Amino acid sequence: MTGNNLYEELGGKPTFEALVDYFYAQVLLDFELKPFFENIDMKRLRDHQVQFLAAIAGGPAKREVDMAKAHKGRGINEAAFNRVAGHLVKAMEHFKVPEHAKSQLLDAVLGYKDQVIQDGGK
């Protein structure tokens, strides 16, 4: 491991792109989650997700995203958030992300839970 930089350890941008592509393929197959992604520009969302995960792994960050603003009005509840997080875990397992890296990335994502679940979505 190179210091605390998971981005480099995991293989950089190509790894994160593949991880996110697999992740969204699974999310969109989930009938409970699919409605949350209707009328969403998936290419744009994919690019944002790659940047987000890369940044929390110590990679380059293009800009800070206001997670509360990005998810406002989407009606995301705790069950949906947890399903998405579960698909992220499965994607990391699919790509054999080491346990320490998986934990670090998941902990960072979970840190945004209160910003994503809004509008009485608990």
Tell me the average pLDDT of the chain. Answer: 90
Rg (CA), the chain: 14
Q: Would the pTM of this model clear 0.75, i.e. be above it?
A: yes
The residue extents of the domains of the chain are 6-116
Tell whether the model's pLDDT for residue 3 goes beyond 50: no
Average pLDDT over residues 57-68: 81
**Superfamily of segment(s) 6-116:** Globins (1.10.490.10)
pLDDT in tens, 5-31: 899 999 999 999 999 999 999 999 999
Residues 6+ apart with CB under 8 A from 16: 7, 10, 50, 53, 54, 57, 59
Band of residue 119 on the pLDDT scale cut at 50, 70, 90: low
